[in-house]
Amino acid sequence: MSPGPTSKELLKQAKQSLDDARLLAEHRRRNEGVLTRLALHQALQAISISEGLDANDDLRLDTLLKRVPEDHPQAALLATLRSEDAQTIAAVAGLVEALDRPKAKPTATPKPAPAPVTEPGEDDTNDAPETDETRFDDLDPSALTALGTSPQGHGRADPASSFPSAAFWSLMDRWGIEDLDALALVGHAGGLTKKGTRPRFRLQGAEAHRYAALRALDTALSTLGQEPADFLRAKQTRAPFDGDTPLAVLHRDGADGARSLIRDLTRQGFQAGLKRALEQN
């Protein structure tokens, strides 16, 4: 199974969402708010990942906002973004730029003077006793994450969201996807059961991340009145297809591919709406 996107990749996606929102705003289309909130969601996912927490697509905006540590450098700005009215393109863009800004290198601290050598016979009863206890901040961050703990010490990481396979199979039936192809779309290993039937399982981790992206794509298709079976199998020459079908893009790029398709659908819907508006005028 492929891992989910990194915080840097999520910030890149947030910038793309903001570009799309600006495009809609220039032509006074209502969907700019949806794309702006999508960018904010992606930025908050990036923060969660940097804090060693789960950043599944299924998490709500308010949930992601509550998980930001109080001592986060952008805590003040994020506090203002709790209000939907404050979630403007400019405000979210400011957050994304701040998060994507290279961190300043810490200044070197002078080395402490060496401790005086205790000669035999000197009184050392006030010395701190030796201990085998490992300091929390001496642990490797990756080890803390593996234990389910944030490297910054902000508590345990939330468990990854999971989904029943019944919901996944329902979506695949609606899309008309063959069983083995469907399992490949979410990176599920193992194939069919020994009887050749569909396996029952819970989608977790990267599988859940991919499924959430596929579900978001399904919502976009439904909103724009697109038939999934037809859309997924029609070859396209423009990016991100490059001569492939949308289904091939999903197999190739996983959740990132689904988000690319959603952005493409948004642009196509916007252009169609703009064309109709111009024709009416």
Q: Tell me what the pLDDT averaged over the chain comes to.
A: 75
Maximum distance among all alpha carbons in the chain?
Answer: 99
Give the HSE-up count for residue 9: Cα atoms under 13 Å, Cβ half-sphere: 11
In angstroms, how far is CA 79 from the centroid of its own chain? Answer: 20
Note the pLDDT tens digit of each residue in 111-146: 555 554 444 444 444 443 333 333 323 323 333 233
Statement: residue 166 has pLDDT above 90? yes
Counting beta carbons within 10 angstroms of the beta carbon of residue 269, is it exposed (0 to 12), middle (13 to 18) or buried (19 or more)? middle
Statement: residue 255 has pLDDT above 80? yes
Note the pLDDT tens digit of each residue in 4-48: 678 888 888 888 788 877 876 776 655 677 788 888 888 888 888
Statement: residue 219 has pLDDT above 50? yes
pTM above 0.85, yes or no: no
d(CA 278, CA 158): 49
Nearest alpha carbon to residue 35 among 79, 82, 93, 76: 93
Question: Residue 273's pLDDT band (boundaries 50, 70, 90)?
Answer: low
Note the pLDDT tens digit of each residue in 38-81: 888 888 888 888 888 776 655 677 888 888 888 888 888 888 88
Element (H, E) at 16: helix 7-26
The pLDDT value given to residue 195? 93
The pLDDT value given to residue 138? 31
Q: How many residues are listed for the chain in this entry?
A: 281
d(CA 148, CA 156): 5
Task: List the domains of the chain with CATH numbers.
Answer: 1-103+148-158 (1.20.120), 160-281 (no CATH)
Burial annotation 117-133 (CB, 10 A radius, 16+ → b, else e): eeeeeeeeeeeeeeeee
The pLDDT value given to residue 89? 87
Statement: residue 158 has pLDDT above 80? no
d(CA 16, CA 6): 15
Note the pLDDT tens digit of each residue in 83-109: 888 888 888 888 998 898 876 555 555
Question: Residue 231's pLDDT band (boundaries 50, 70, 90)?
Answer: very high
Burial annotation 94-109 (CB, 10 A radius, 16+ → b, else e): ebbeebeeeeeeeeee
Statement: residue 230 has pLDDT above 80? yes
Q: Which residue has the higher pLDDT, 168 or 75?
A: 168
The pLDDT value given to residue 4? 63
